Amino acid sequence: MHKVYVLRSLKDGNLYIGCTKNLDKRIMMHKGGKVRSTKSRLPVELIYKEEHADIYEAFKKERFYKTPGGKKKLLEKLGNS
C-alpha cells in the first residue's frame, strides 16, 4: 500500500504533502531533519494519511492536493475551511 500523508509544521503551521510506501520510515526521516523540504520547519506532526493500492493513484492524489482546488478539498477533509 502507498500512502499520501500530510504533515503540519509546529514552527510555522505550514503543511507538507508527501507520498511513500513506508510511512513510519518517512516520518522518522522528516522528524530527524533528513528531508530538505521540512528540515527548517521542525518539529512536524502527522495530521492526515490515506492509503492507495496503486502507486500511480497515490502520486496522482498527492499532486492533486498540491493544487489550489486540491488543497481546498484537503482542508475540508481536515475540518479547516
- Sequence ranges of the domains in the chain: 2-76
**Residue 72: exposed, middle, or buried by beta-carbon count in 10 A (0-12, 13-18, 19+)?**
exposed
Q: Looking at residue 44, what DSSP letter applies?
A: E
- The CATH architecture to which 2-76 belongs is 3-Layer(aba) Sandwich (3.40)
The percent of residues above 70 in pLDDT, for the chain, comes to: 98
Contact 61, 15 (CB under 8 A): no
Half-sphere exposure of 35 (CA within 13 A, CB side): 18
- pTM beyond 0.85: the answer is yes
Which triple of cell numbers denotes residue 11? 514552527
- pLDDT tens digit string along 15-41? 999 999 999 999 999 999 999 999 999
Look at residue 81 in the predicted model and tell me its pLDDT.
45
How far apart are the C-alpha atoms of 61 and 59, rounded to whole Å? 5
